[in-house]
Amino acid sequence: MEKVLIEEGSSYEAVEKAEKYFSECGEIRHVTIFFESSNFLITKYEMLSAWVHMVLEFDDLEIQIESLNCGYVGAGPNCAIRLLKRLGLPEMQLTPLIHENHAISFRVLGGEIHELNTYQLFYDVEPICYKNNALRNKIHGNENVDIDLQEKLIRFYNPQRTNWMGFLNLLNYMENIEFEYYIGEKSLLDRGLYIGSGGFRNGVKDKDIKGTVHCNLYLTGANFNVSCLIDREYEVEVIEAVYLALTGKKLVMQDVRKQNWITQLFHRGEKMELTDRIVIDRMKRE
C-alpha cells in the first residue's frame, strides 16, 4: 500500500493538502486519530513521522497527517471533523466523538462508522473526558518515559517507582518477546547507554535516575522494544517480577547458576556479571 505523509503547516493547510488525494484514492476504509501520537506504537501502522496524529486508510493508499487530532475543542479537532465530513461521514456523529475522546479508531462501511474503539494506552495530559475515570494501567508520557515512535523504542527510568502498572500493561501489547537482562558493572544493553557519574546525566537531570547506571533490562518485540534503566538496589526484584508477569514462572536470580538460565561471564573478587537472553514464548510452552 502506498503511504503519504502530510507534515508541518497548520490544521487548515493539512486539510487542503489531504483533500487533493481524495479524488483518486477510492473509498475511506479506516480512520485512526490520537491526541497522543505514541499510541500508534500499539497499532499496525509503520509511522512516517513522530508527529502524526491521524491516519486515513483507503483501498490502496494510506495518508498520515500531523496536524489533525482530537480530544478538545480547537483547530486540530475541528479540521479533523471538516476533513472526515468531506469523506462523507456524518457530522452529528463526528462532532461529539472527536471533541470528547483522546483516541478514536473505527472502520467505515457504506459511509457509516463501525467498530468504534476509543482506547488509549499513552497519555500526555490528563484528558478532560477522563476526569471521572482512573488512569490506572496507562502510561503518562512524562520525563520518566522516552518514546521514539519511528525507532519503536520506549525507554523507562525506574518504572517500578514511576509507571509500574502502565509498564506491566504495555507488555500485553508486545509480540514475540525476547527478554534480556544484565547485572554487573558495564551493560551493553540499549546500545551501551550509560548515565552513571560522568556519563549522560546532564541530559536526564529531570528524570528519576536515582541508583541507575545503565540499562538492566531490555525487551525486544516484533512490534516495538522496551528499555529499562533500574535502580541497582532493586534490579533483581524488578527483573524477577517482569519475568513472572510474562511467563508465570520464577526467575530466581540467587539460583541462576543451578538452573542454567544464566551465563556467568567472569568473577572479579566478589563481583560477577550475570546476563541472559530468553525467548519468552518458548518459556511459556515449557
| pLDDT value, residue 281 | 83
Residues 54 and 147 in one domain: no
The strand pair at 103-109 and 61-65 is best described as unpaired
DSSP string, 157-184: ESHHHHSHHHHHHHHTT--S-EEEEEES
User: Is the domain of 262 the same as that of 156?
Assistant: yes
DSSP 84-132: HHHTT--HHHHHHHHHH-SEEEEEEETTEEEEEE---SEESS--GGGTT
* Model pLDDT, residue 260: 39
Question: Using CA atoms, how far apart are residues 165 and 232, in angstroms rounded to an integer?
Answer: 20
User: Which pLDDT value is given to residue 141?
Assistant: 83
Q: How many domains does the chain have?
A: 2
The pLDDT mean for the chain works out to: 87
Least confident of 13-27, 147-161, 197-211, 267-281: 197-211
Share of the chain above pLDDT 70, in %: 84
In a domain, 132, yes or no: no
Q: Does 43 map to a domain? A: yes
CA atoms within 13 A on the CB side of 198: 0
In a domain, 261, yes or no: yes
- Does residue 265 lie in a domain region? yes
> Is 270 inside a domain boundary?
yes
Query: Which neighbouring-strand residues pair with 54?
Result: 33, 65
User: What's the pLDDT tens digit per position in 97-154?
Assistant: 999 999 999 999 988 999 999 999 999 866 555 554 557 789 988 889 999 999 999 9
Distance (Å, whole) CA 145 – CA 204: 11
Residues of the domain holding 166: 142-285
Per residue in 148-183, pLDDT tens?
A: 999 999 999 999 999 999 999 999 999 999 999 999
Whether 149 and 272 share a structural domain: yes
Q: Read off the pLDDT of residues 231-259 as tens digits, 9 standing for 90 and up.
A: 999 999 999 999 999 999 988 765 544 44
Q: Is residue 136 part of a domain?
A: no
Residues 11 and 87 in one domain: yes
Q: What mean pLDDT do residues 73-92 have?
A: 94
Place of cell 539460583: 255
- Residue 191's CB is within 10 A of a number of other CB atoms, namely 9
12-16, 102-106, 273-277: least confident range: 273-277
